[in-house]
Amino acid sequence: MGEATHRELTVPNRTTCLAQVRHAVLELVGQGMFPAGEAQLVALAVDEAVANVMEHAFAVEGANPQQEIQIILEANGECFRALIRDGGRRFDPTAVPDVDIRQHVRQGRKGGLGIYLIRRIMDEVRYEFRQDSFNELLMVKYVDNRARKATSGLPQRQEGVPKRCP
């Protein structure tokens, strides 16, 4: 498990390709890296992030329907990283305020919980816009988050912190 595994996918801007993304994530994290339920949650977080790109980043009039999304997945004994890169409309999900889940439910709202779920599932979520080029969303999930918190004193979810996975 200590050996790094790397996988890159480039998928078209079609939600029918989300199953391929989930499968690739589960190939990396479902091999004992995380308990089965947690591996499914990590796959859900990546799925939500890619779905948001598909539904929102390219949802502009005149957008090229052939736009592609690059997904770089890395896993080692300490963490799983997913980097999602797209050339769509600029959007910083880390700037979106947290959802008040009780109010969301009381209002009977449907949808709008993707960023909320990503933040709850992943340990780190960082966004960067490469000027005149592309969006990058980096999500990190640590294998032993309790040990990470105990040794670092950092909160469970960090945004905008340039810490790299070993």
Q: In this predicted structure, what is the pLDDT of residue 13?
A: 86
- Gap between the Cα atoms of 122 and 100, Å rounded: 18
DSSP state, residue 83: E
Domain boundaries in the chain? Answer: 5-152
Q: Model's pTM, two decimal places?
A: 0.78
pLDDT one-digit tens code per residue, 37-54: 999 999 999 999 999 888
Tell me: domain 5-152, CATH 3.30.565.10, correct? yes
Tell whether the model's pLDDT for residue 163 goes beyond 60.
no
Locus of tokens 């959802």? 99
Token representation of residue 165: 């996975």
pLDDT band at 157 (very low <50, low <70, confident <90, very high): very low
CA nearest 123: which of 78, 166, 159, 74?
159
Q: In this predicted structure, what is the pLDDT of residue 41?
A: 95
Helix 36-52 to helix 114-121 angle (10° resolution) is 140
